[in-house]
Structure 1
Amino acid sequence: MNSAGDQIAVLYVDDEPELRDLFRQGLERQSDRIAVDTADSPSAALERFHEGGIDCVVSDYSMPGGTGVELLRSVRETDPELPFIMFAETGSEHVASEAISAGVTDYVIEKAVGAQHELLARKISTYVDRQRAERRAERVNDRLHELAGVANDALWVFSADWSELLFINEAHERLFGQPTEELYAEPDSFLDRVHPDDVDRVRAAMERATAGHSQSVEYRVRPSESVELWVESQCEPVVDEEGTVERMTGFTRDITNRKTRERELATTNEQLDRFTSTVAHDLRNPVNIADGHLGLAREEFDSPHLDASARAIERMDELLSDLLSLARTGEAVNEAQSVALEEVIESAEHNVAMGDARLAVESSEPIECDPVRLKEAIENLLRNAIEHNETTVRLTAGVLPGGDGFYVEDDGQGIPEEQRGEVFDDGYTTIEKGTGFGLSIVTRIVDAHGWDIEATESVDGGARFEVTGVECGGTVEGSAD
């Protein structure tokens, strides 16, 4: 059974009472969706039509007091799209031509009435369903246009090769200083407003999108001679069932404030880096002097107190190194590149004293990251595994099964569940030699990328670190070195 909202109200117009009754009974037997109301003249039909609730009109042509075409013209003045079927007794070319000119939906010649109920029921359902779908689409389209009109972002739809602009909202003019009419006339003319140093990068992103790859690109635009903005465009190719790109959809937004904050943060980080380098130099000098004198003293004397002093100086040096690294780990990353995860991991391995430990990369994907910062994070994960296990460990790394991140794990003693949330805190360590800053540095690098990290248990019961929220896939662009 069909729902009440799926019902179709048909108005049948004919001056013959018996034909009206046969038509109603026959049509309602064919479909439980259809309910038939009748009228015996064009004037009565028009009155019933204006009362509302009619989904389709089926009318005879020749009737006393008017014709079906005259009724059709009156209906079209109110509703140009309402399904209207002329159910005429003859196939007169004149009548058919007149009906078509007036905007009839279909023209059916009466034959044996009983044999045509199925045909008419099918036609009525098809035309009404089509019109309802079109009206729903129009309503959705109207709402989307209303939303686009008040959006701060420029919303756009281009053809697959960018040669035709299918839709753009008014925000484009505010961001680019370009009338939308100008862009419709020349779809690639927005590039004239892009900073000359950024045009090639934008064109390259457009070409990759045409090839079917989602794109996100940041660049500068000049809406006027005195104004320069930073914007971000994100593009999503729309493909058909066979994977062929049909059109480009996306948005462009103003990121000038974000870029300003990033520059300010970069300046602050540079100042912090110079400060920490100076402090580290000033602190390391007395540490090195103390270590040198301690070495001379141990040549002359043999005392456990000197051994304790040596361990303290060694720990001070480790603390200085980790504190310097932590201070340099800011909240921003350099421009992301697409690099192979395996390459970053292997590069990190070369900077770690692995001893007898072995590392295997089980799977790899290109990932969007700052490769230098990511390498530093993985170095600390590898050191953490080696230093926190008394026996030699086997390490494994690779892409997570869901493809949205990567993992580094070992087969060592693992991290107790109650401590997994604390291991990333500054200064937290469970070994005497540790400084407690290694995983803290990892966390800052992960956060700077906008990712998440979690400590859990590996298959072998060791420690496993999972980094999620990572954009994997795409084409390798950069290097981890």
Structure 2
Amino acid sequence: MSAEDDSIAVLYVNDEPELLDLLATGLERNAERITVSTAESVAEGLAHRREHAVDCIVSDYSMPEATGIDFLETVREHDPELPFVMFAETGSERVASEAISAGVTDYVIEQAIGNQHELLARKIATYVDRRRAERRAERTNRRLRELADVSDDVLWMFSADWSELLFINGAHELLFGQPVDELYADPDSFLERVHPDDTPRVRAAMARAAGGDSQSVEYRVRQSASVEVWVESHCEPVVEDGEVLRMTGFTRDITDRKVHERELATTNEQLEQFTSTVAHDLRNPIAIADGHLELAREAFDSPHLDASARAVERMDELIDDLLTLARTGTAVGDAEPVEFAEVIRAAEHNVATADATLTVDRTCRIECDATRLKEAVENLLRNAVEHNEAAVAISAGILPDGGGFYVEDDGEGIRPANRDDVFDDGYTTVQKGTGFGLSIVSRIVDAHGWAIEVTGGPDGGARFEVTSVDCCDTPRAPATAGD
């Protein structure tokens, strides 16, 4: 806050000029923030207030024509909250009672001996700062309510035990089909709109939140006898010193998302049935062709038969990769924390690495679908082995900032001109490749909400970096077999 914003403009009204000058000088000397303007009558004080901004009024009681009480009552008609201190020469219960009834902020008896300027300056600063803080809070609350009123989400706040509704915006009535006043009267009444099959889950989430745990729960709401929607509620308990003070959160309509999920599940099921049928229908003739070729090679020695056998083997590889790509889709299963080094080692067992070596630099637990991540790593390892004629050294680990992981090799690398194409379906630079391995990797990475980039490794090979991955703990060296 600047010195100008922190300044306090005081108006002091007294019909005795000497007292005016004395108090004004004393207040300004005891508080640099305070600037005092003076008036010798109530009429002059009212005129000053109309023309100038005033943060606090200090007034004598006994003045000709109009008293300090008259002044206070007039001020209160226009500003009920303006700090007003009655600085009276003598104490009187009647005057004090009238002042309190009229809304005085403080009643101070002027002492004949002793410097009261420091005390009065401190009182003035306290009352003005309090009023400014209240006004800032009022402005903030007003803006928050304005934002809440235009939000499509239901914003709410309950007491710690859910027994009292502290705040809710108008979106509740649209989403739950229930008047807000009804919910204020009975904070549990929204549960009557929840589908009976989902009510136990909602109550359980509320109980866990009351224990201090953040919660997220999806459930159905019956807006009316014929309309049912899916909603998602997020609750964040407000906890101080280990005690839950209140519940804050929001509820939003996720019906469209649920419909999309059902459609996606149906599509994936149909795709699975289709790919299984295709696999069966394709593999049968390939198996027959392979069997006859084997018999023919026993009876005849011809390079044409060898070429045909390689073609059949190639077709079998293509079918495997195409089926994997079709089944990959864009969805992932339930995520759980998985040790990165364990995923790398599990993938190594499923890949024919020949003379290649594999080391893991750093590891941490990653929130992911472990099966899908292992599938992606298998394809990265297979890519390093199959795209290099000589044996390569492969390394994997967590990125320095903990925001992802890498897999790299010291082989021939990928030319910069080709790096934008390697994740395309069917792209390959070797005769025996199908061009679907890295495409599968890309889809799995995208399904997790991550990002992947290929660069050059420090030893000239290919380096794949997967980013936007959060480690669940501090990256560390992987455990050895003896640990």
- Normalising by the smaller structure, the TM-score range is 0.7 to 0.9
- Once the two structures are superposed, the pairs formed by residues 332-481 of structure 1 within 5 Å of their partners are 332-334=331-333, 336-342=334-340, 348=347, 351-353=350-352, 357-358=357-358, 360=360, 362-365=362-365, 367=367, 369-389=368-388, 390-398=390-398, 406-413=404-411, 415-456=414-455, 463-470=462-469, 473=472
Change (3 A) 1:464 1:280: same
- Once the two structures are superposed, the pairs formed by residues 75-114 of structure 1 within 5 Å of their partners are 75-111=75-111
Alpha-carbon distance between aligned partners in 1 of 2:195 and 2:159, rounded to the nearest angstrom: 24
CA contact under 8 A between 2:20 and 2:38: conserved in structure 1?
yes
- Amino acid in the other structure paired with 1:156: W
Change (3 A) 1:258 1:407: same
**Which is worse superposed, 254-263 or 106-115?**
106-115
Alpha-carbon distance between aligned partners in 2 of 1:284 and 1:371, rounded to the nearest angstrom: 29
How far 1:220 sits from its partner (Å)? 1.5
Change (3 A) 1:338 1:107: farther
Alpha-carbon distance between aligned partners in 2 of 1:202 and 1:349, rounded to the nearest angstrom: 43
CA contact under 8 A between 1:409 and 1:462: conserved in structure 2?
no
CA contact under 8 A between 1:386 and 1:393: conserved in structure 2?
no
CA contact under 8 A between 1:395 and 1:409: conserved in structure 2?
yes
Change (3 A) 1:324 1:203: same
Alpha-carbon distance between aligned partners in 2 of 1:212 and 1:417, rounded to the nearest angstrom: 52
Give the aligned partner of residue 325 of structure 1: 324
Give the aligned partner of residue 157 of structure 1: 157
Alpha-carbon distance between aligned partners in 2 of 1:74 and 1:293, rounded to the nearest angstrom: 111
- Alignment length, in residue pairs? 469
How far 1:470 sits from its partner (Å)? 4.7
Give the aligned partner of residue 7 of structure 2: 7
- Amino acid in the other structure paired with 1:258: R
Determine whether 1:175 maps to 2:181: no
Alpha-carbon distance between aligned partners in 2 of 1:6 and 1:27, rounded to the nearest angstrom: 16
Give the aligned partner of residue 223 of structure 2: 223
RMSD of the TM alignment (CA)?
3.2
Q: TM-score by structure 2 length?
A: 0.85
- Amino acid in the other structure paired with 1:152: D
How far 1:422 sits from its partner (Å)? 2.7
CA contact under 8 A between 1:262 and 1:332: conserved in structure 2?
no
How far 1:424 sits from its partner (Å)? 1.7
Alpha-carbon distance between aligned partners in 1 of 2:420 and 2:375, rounded to the nearest angstrom: 21
How far 1:322 sits from its partner (Å)? 1.1
Give the aligned partner of residue 261 of structure 2: 262
Give the aligned partner of residue 250 of structure 2: 251
Determine whether 1:166 maps to 2:171: no
Change (3 A) 1:271 1:433: same
CA contact under 8 A between 1:57 and 1:84: conserved in structure 2?
yes
CA contact under 8 A between 1:7 and 1:33: conserved in structure 2?
yes
Secondary structure of 1:101 counterpart: helix
Give the aligned partner of residue 117 of structure 1: 117
Give the aligned partner of residue 46 of structure 1: 46
* Deviation per residue, 1:126-161 (Å, 9 max, x gap): 221221121121112112212212221111122344
Secondary structure of 1:224 counterpart: coil
Q: TM-score by structure 1 length?
A: 0.85
Give the aligned partner of residue 477 of structure 1: none
Change (3 A) 1:84 1:385: farther
* Deviation per residue, 1:411-432 (Å, 9 max, x gap): 4335555544332221223433
Identity of paired residues, percent? 68
Give the aligned partner of residue 292 of structure 1: 291
- Amino acid in the other structure paired with 2:163: S
Secondary structure of 1:287 counterpart: helix
**Which is worse superposed, 40-49 or 454-463?**
454-463
Determine whether 1:134 maps to 2:162: no
Alpha-carbon distance between aligned partners in 1 of 2:361 and 2:196, rounded to the nearest angstrom: 42
Alpha-carbon distance between aligned partners in 1 of 2:117 and 2:322, rounded to the nearest angstrom: 87
Secondary structure of 1:425 counterpart: coil
How far 1:117 sits from its partner (Å)? 2.9
- Amino acid in the other structure paired with 1:73: E
Alpha-carbon distance between aligned partners in 1 of 2:469 and 2:117, rounded to the nearest angstrom: 61
Alpha-carbon distance between aligned partners in 2 of 1:245 and 1:459, rounded to the nearest angstrom: 52
